[in-house]
Amino acid sequence: MTSPPAISLHDRLSPSRKWTIIVLLSAGMINAYVDRANISVVITLEDFISTFGLTDISRGALNSAFFWTYAFLQVPAGWIVDRYGVKFPYAVSYFFWGLFSAATGLTQAFWQILALRLLLGAGEAIVTPASLKWIRFHCAEKERGLAVGVYMAGTKIGPALGVPLTALLIESYDWRTMFFIVGLGGLLLLIPWQLLVPRDRGDRETASGSEPQAPDVPFGRVLKSPALWGIVIGTFSYNYFSYFCMTWLPAYLVERRGLSLQSMGLYTMAGFGGMAAMAIFAGWFADRLIAQGHDPITIRKAFTIAGLVLASTEVFGALSDSQSVSLFFAVFSLTGLGVMTANFWALTQTLIPGRAIGRIVGVQNFAANLAGIVSPIVTGWLKQVTGAYDAPMKAIWVVLVIGVCSYLFLVRRRYAPMAGPPARG
């Protein structure tokens, strides 16, 4: 029996509908990151700390718990969207993660909060493989940087809005009510999702009809590629800093720099807001250069390395006794990291083609969220052992430098996996 022909959903979507769905994917990430970031504000509250008997190490564990399930479910989630498509798995997952977030307001013991953070991570595991697969199959190379930039801006707008929103809701009500409002309110996004996103089947899709279909590459060969491992290391480095800012930056600004809850929220919003704007701009600018005939791999790799270098300036503020210098570099370094945001994800899709893109994104996002496990725990441990934030900030700088080296020496065209028999020599 002949298998059904592959289809290209690209041909059925108008440009306005396509970009509306991309904005909707970004909105989903905003909600997801609000749900991730709100705990970082809650653990700065004295009554919360005393109620649950938290230490710096247990605060780090609580910040990290979400990523334990989220990271390790990335490849299975990628397989699900490769097999069953994007629309239905995304909607089911979205519904449950909203409920898990809201239920945090009912907790009475530390283990209950920990369990719900684990469940929240499981619920959100589908979001990045699904979203980036949708973009891969609906956007041509010359527009993919902007598309990924708009989508990934949600990962920065979420903390930028989530931290001050969480602080506002806590001050207006309490932390329990905050979880109810944020968790249940986010479910409203399911209405436009169901109305706008067409039904799909992952195993019957082809890439955007605006470009030749990329050759398929066996997934096992991808896993053996030095280029993939360079991407994995660089992705870990990017997210080690990003997740420090999401989980510990509020506490750092309050405890080390003496800011009020409201001022902390504003500076956090400025850093992540700048990162979001830079992600969109850098993605768009890279697309323009590629459209003019420049090599996509060279351009996206250059933007990626530049973002890591700019982010490494965080160490100047961290080691300064000047309040103004420290706050400037807290915002500048995070904004600079945005130069990398769209381009390192788009680079993966350019360098490693194939229909198993959901699983490939799953591997990369596993590395991203392994950093979400490690960064909060290592930060909490270093702070408790040394009694200060200097050591955690120096550790960030080392990790960022390793990321620069991985993209310089491993992420190269000649190391990318190719379709067909392996090349000799």
Q: Which two tokens stand for residue 98?
A: 């909203």
Q: How many CB atoms lie within 10 A of CB 11?
A: 11
What residues have CB less than 8 Å from 234, skipping those under 6 apart? 304, 308, 344, 403, 406, 407, 411
Classify 7 as helix, strand or coil. strand
Strand-pair partners of 93: none
> What phi-psi label fits residue 258: left (phi over 0), alpha (psi between -120 and 50 degrees) or beta?
left
Question: Which residues lie across from 205 on neighbouring strands?
Answer: 7
The answer, yes or no, to whether residue 267 has pLDDT greater than 80, is: yes
Strand partners, 7: 205
Q: Is the confidence at residue 272, as pLDDT, over 80? A: yes
> In 3D, which of 137, 21, 15 has the Cα closest to residue 85?
137
CATH 3.10.20.90 fits 12-196+215-415, yes or no: no
Confidence of residue 422 (pLDDT cuts 50, 70, 90): very low
Does the pLDDT of residue 204 top 60, yes or no? no
pLDDT for 325: 94
pLDDT digits (tens, 9 = 90+) for 81-109: 888 889 999 999 999 999 999 999 999 88
Query: What average pLDDT does the segment 341-346 reach?
Result: 85
d(CA 249, CA 269): 11
pTM for the model stands at 0.72
Q: Which residue has the higher pLDDT, 217 or 171?
A: 171
Q: What H or E segment, with its residue span, contains residue 309?
A: helix 296-311
Of 170-179, 207-216, 387-396, the one with minimum mean pLDDT is: 207-216
Q: What pLDDT was estimated at residue 338?
A: 92
**What distances in angstroms separate CA 334 from CA 99, 239, 341, one per listed residue?**
31, 11, 11
List Cα–Cα distances, 395 to 54, 213, 241, 378, 402, in angstroms: 24, 42, 10, 9, 11
The mean pLDDT value of the chain amounts to: 85
- What ranges do the domains of the chain cover? 12-196+215-415
Residue 294, CB-side half-sphere exposure with 13 Å CA sphere: 14
What pLDDT score was predicted for residue 187? 93
